[in-house]
Structure formats: C-alpha cells, structure tokens
Structure 1
C-alpha cells in the first residue's frame, strides 16, 4: 500500500550545523524506494537558505514556507488529505505548527523526535520551544530518538499513547567503503561543536594527539570557538557536506563517536554517525553510554574508551586483523538493521497500524 506522507522538519535542504538533514534524507529515500509519496515542508530561514546542499531532492517533493500563516495558506489541503503527517523536533514555531496538524490532519499524526533527551529536559523545565506537554497525548504515534526507559517515561509521565523507539539510520547506498591504500588520519571526529561534548573530545582525541605527535588526527564540523588550541597534528575541517562523508570515514584508521550529555543520561540514543561510519567500514572508538553495547557489542563491533590511555593503547597496539574484524562486524549489524530502508519499513507499518482511519480492534 502506497502512503501519502507529509513531513514537517527542521531541514532537508541543508546539512549545515544540524544532524536532522542526513537523518531525514536516509529515511525519506527509504520511503521512496518502497513506493511512498512524500512531501517535505521546510521553514525558509536565512541560515539554511544560504547553505543548501540539497535544494532539489530526487526522492521527495520539497517545498518551503515563510511562516505558520503561509504554511496554512499553501499546504493545509496536503496536510488534511495525507495518510500521515509527521512533525519533527526543532521545527520553528513547532508548537503552533503541531497544533495546526493536530487540528487539520485526518491521517496518522506523528511526532518524530530526533532530540528526545533534549526535548524531555526542556519539557521538565517548561521551556521546550517546539513541543507542549498537552500535545503529546493527542498524537497517534511518538517516534523517539531514544529507546529503553525513555519510552516508559513518555508513556507514564507524558501520556504518549504509542511511543516507539525510532533510531536514526544510514543510507546504505551512499555510505559505503571507499578504496584507499593508506589512511590519511589515524583518528578522526565529525560533529558540530557543543559545550557538553568538548570535554570528551579533549580526552579522547586531542590529548591522544598530544601524546602521539607522529600520528595524524582530524576534527570536522562547524562552530568551534576560536580559542581552542589545536595540537599541530590535528587537522581542522570547518564543514563537510554529506557527499564527502564516505571519503572522510574511509581516510581514517579509526573514527571517534562522542555523545551529547543528555543522550548519555538517557541511554539508548545512538548517533547517526555510528551507523554512517560502520556502513563505510571504519572501526569506531566511542564514549560509553547505556545501550550502546546492545547495538554494537564492545570489543566485537566497536571499542568503548573511557580514557586517553584507552585510545592511545588502541592506536598503538591493536592488530590490523582485529581492527578490520571489528569494522566488518559493525557493518554487518548496521546493514541488517539500521538502514534507511529498514527504518522506512518500520515507519510505514507503524503509520498504518496507528492510523485513526483503520478499523483495528480496541
């Protein structure tokens, strides 16, 4: 059954400074491969408008709107007639947008929270700008970036009727191993600067770089403060478009995964970077958080590091045979369970299952 799906998200057209675009791209490509019709609606804001790396996607229709009034005026009919409408986290004026969707949409009404721990922290403080507590029980489906105990919290504290663990995914057709005779960097990291991630980046990459001056390191991503002192053997890349991600991963012996503090506290919140790197066949060194070992077993599909010494030991002592065995295992797991196509299948089934138009028992 082909579904007409409308998605309102932070950005699809620009990956600059956000992880939403790559997450949406993998999922929507998967939906397109399954034959579903998708309209993505994006607020036209200057920041993303001046940094668009996908202004015309080939897997969905993309339309921009200026404000909530423009959204209502130009796209109310599409929202009303869709089989499902999905509103994402961090959508500008998100509470007002979701109110409109809850009022107008006749199909399944879902919230896709790509930032669940951040969202719940904001709701607890009373300052979440894109979702209100009163809206959660009205949703047919709550797609949560985090699994585990977060789903119980959504159901018991916020009265979400159907919370579903819905991790991000990788586009398996674009994130593949690249041919490379020798690695350019011994360890690299890809991520936008954040205050809470910086101590782990310091501990797990910058300090190892200082202790291993003959090895090469790289940090790619925007918004890092000018005051950071980078070791001489750490290369900086300000922005790396998704089209360059596979080559970037392929040029590393290992890649580092560093997790936001809210995600660590919640657990069961894998970054899309984990799945991207694994799909590209690059071994991962990661910080520790609850649930990681269930997705990618420590010592088998990745290496968890708690200290600078852990990273230095891996870079100096791990054999090439074991390094590649870890990468191969991670890739097998990701391709089996964490691709855009796999997520699209799960999503389509859930949208049908929880549709108010269905006549299921109960």
Structure 2
C-alpha cells in the first residue's frame, strides 16, 4: 500500500449535510481513506447556513478545521505546503482564489475534486463558474471527477488537464447495512430540490401518486418551493441527516433515483442514492442516462422508468420475490465495486500516480519538511 500519506482537503462541507451532497461523499471517502492509515486535515469555510445545521462537528476519522475567510487560510499555509497531497473541491466559497493559493503553496500533488463536473462544464460555457477558473485545470496535477466516460477525455483534450480520472461517489456499508423493515412507503425519493430534477420527480413520483391514491410515497430533502402541490399520499420530510438515510430507504419498497439535466447529458454520473439505497437492500427505479449500465445493470440490478405508467407497472406488477432478487443483485454489485473502501483505494492510487508525474526524480509523495 505504500507509506502513509498526509492529505489536506479543502471542500464545501464536512461538518454539515444540510442542502448539499458533498458532506456525505467526503465523510464516506475520507473515513475509508483514514482507515488505510493516512492522515487527513479537512479545511472548511465557516458559513452561517452550515453553522446552523452542523451534524458532524467533530469527526473521529480526520481533523476538521473551520476557517473564517480567505485571509484565514494563511494560518494553514504550512500544512498545505507540507502535505503529500492537497485536494480542492468544487463549490468551495471563493474557490478560484482558494485554488490560486493552493497552486502557489502546495509542494505535493495538487488535485481538484469535482463533485459537480457537468455543472462545472456548463458554467464554463456560460462564463459563470465561481469556484474554478479554466486556466487552473492545467495547474492541477489531477482532476478527480464525479463523472466518468467521455467527459474525462474532454477535460484532458479541451481543458488541458494533465490527468482526469473518475472518482465516483460511494457508500459506507457499515453505515448502510442490509435492513429488512416493514415498508411505510411504496416509493420514496431523497434529494435536495433542484429545478432541473423537478420535472422528472413530477413525472416519476408525483403523477404516480395522483393516479394511485392507495399507494404511499415520500419525498425527503430541503429547499422545495412552497407552491408545489403535493398529493395527499406523499409524505414530505424537510431534511434527513446521513445517519437517518438507511432507515428511510429501508422503510420503502422501492427508492427513486432522479438525475440532474447536465448529468444526464454527460452520462456516467451516478448519484449516492444508487449506492446508499442499494447497500441497505432497497431496489431502485431510475431515470435513464448513458453509462448507467457501467454502474448497475438495468433490468437485473436496477429498474429504469420513463413514464408514470412504467413506475406503476413496477409498484403494482412486480412480485415480492422479483423485488428481492433485484435488491440482492444491486447490493452484491455495490459491495463489490462501489464501497467507500474501493473509492479510497482508487483515490490513493490516483494521488500516488499524480505525485510520480509531478516529481519523477523524487520518491512518490515524500513529505517535505
């Protein structure tokens, strides 16, 4: 496995899962990374909307430090300079300025971790990306992307990344063990409101709910507008912290996956919903996108739906034995390929590879004193 690494991560949030999917991703990944014997420092911008909703203020797998503003990063310059590797994440407040500091200070491998790659590339086209400047891509030794497939070649060919590598989200199987509960819902969805996901949620959950008043549905997640007409048989839950995700999914016969528009167009952009629900044994119904079959096999490990009729055909027509078969197949695939331990090993390999390219005459990821 090699010598232990000293990693610094500057990400959107580790302390609060409110209104973002980044915290869940970082928690699973970095817990597994630390379990491999590495040391992790996570630097998080202290912002009021997360300060009011902190559900992991003191992680037991890494050091978490909140910094007040850009000037506050100066106190951590030595840690950034001396780290074996430094990772800057997408959507970090004033991320371009943060990236400039990291690129100037860091002497180890420097990586950008894009948990929103299709959104980032769309923002480049619109000239609105506030957390990454296009010229910075050439400066980062490694571009870690939530999106795989052709997007990786595009990042290298069109944007000059020295190395673009997929680093999908994952699941911690210990936090999402197989659970067999009496279902409270026939179909549930967990996700923060997004305007480009809402039409699909309308088509694949709200419309089936209206047409099947005898069935039970649930939507959990914050920031949904107050003017949405929720059918009477749809339970609304404003926010579920990560430690309640497993119970929520286990309370559903099926879980719905809905993908953002930019990610559908890019393909190869699996959501953590796929892995969390699948790990605890709840079968998934998903919209369609290129690359889904590289993650889970449609028809065997995941069910795809285009219309309300498709959803109702599953909810009303699939036998319990078939439901359990799909769930078992998905869980086996997730545990064999998509656990946090798998991702942590991938991250370590990518960082060591990047360090070797950066300083081929030096031992890989040698700590600079």
Which TM-score tier does this pair reach, normalised by the shorter chain? over 0.9
Write the deviation string for residues 83-138 of structure 1: whole angstroms up to 9, x where unpaired.
00000000001000011000100000000000000001111222100000111011
The 5 Å alignment of 1:1-362 reads 1-72=3-74, 74-180=75-181, 182-355=182-355, 356-359=358-361
Question: What is the CA–CA distance in structure 2 between the aligned matches of 1:169 and 1:36, rounded to whole Å?
Answer: 19
Mapped contact 1:43–1:64 kept (Cα < 8 A): yes
Write the deviation string for residues 270-305 of structure 1: whole angstroms up to 9, x where unpaired.
011111111111000000111112211111001000
Question: What is the CA–CA distance in structure 2 between the aligned matches of 1:295 and 1:7, rounded to whole Å?
Answer: 27
Q: Give the paired residue count.
A: 359
Q: CA deviation at 1:359?
A: 3.4
Write the deviation string for residues 25-51 of structure 1: whole angstroms up to 9, x where unpaired.
010011111010000000000000010
Question: What is the CA–CA distance in structure 2 between the aligned matches of 1:253 and 1:294, rounded to whole Å?
Answer: 24
- State which drifts further: 119-128 or 76-85: 119-128
For residues 309 and 360 of structure 1, do their structure 2 counterparts lie closer, same or farther at Cα, with a shift above 3 Å needed?
Answer: farther
Unaligned runs of 5+ in 1: none
Q: CA deviation at 1:318?
A: 0.3
Name the residue aligned to 2:367.
Answer: none
Question: What is the CA–CA distance in structure 1 between the aligned matches of 2:191 and 2:164, rounded to whole Å?
Answer: 28
Mapped contact 1:26–1:170 kept (Cα < 8 A): yes
Mapped contact 1:352–1:358 kept (Cα < 8 A): no
SS of the residue corresponding to residue 77 of structure 1 reads helix
Unaligned runs of 5+ in 2: 364-369
**TM-score, structure 1 length as denominator?**
0.98
SS of the residue corresponding to residue 76 of structure 1 reads helix
> Cα RMSD between the aligned structures?
1.1
Question: What is the CA–CA distance in structure 1 between the aligned matches of 2:157 and 2:326, rounded to whole Å?
Answer: 38
Q: CA deviation at 1:358?
A: 4.2
Q: CA deviation at 1:171?
A: 1.1
| Runs of 4+ deviating beyond 6 Å | none
Q: CA deviation at 1:357?
A: 3.7
Q: CA deviation at 1:178?
A: 2.1
SS of the residue corresponding to residue 136 of structure 1 reads helix
SS of the residue corresponding to residue 154 of structure 1 reads helix
SS of the residue corresponding to residue 322 of structure 1 reads helix
Mapped contact 2:111–2:143 kept (Cα < 8 A): yes
Question: What is the CA–CA distance in structure 1 between the aligned matches of 2:173 and 2:163, rounded to whole Å?
Answer: 28
Mapped contact 1:285–1:305 kept (Cα < 8 A): yes
Question: What is the CA–CA distance in structure 1 between the aligned matches of 2:25 and 2:273, rounded to whole Å?
Answer: 10
Question: What is the CA–CA distance in structure 2 between the aligned matches of 1:4 and 1:219, rounded to whole Å?
Answer: 40
Question: What is the CA–CA distance in structure 2 between the aligned matches of 1:118 and 1:230, rounded to whole Å?
Answer: 28
Mapped contact 2:180–2:281 kept (Cα < 8 A): no
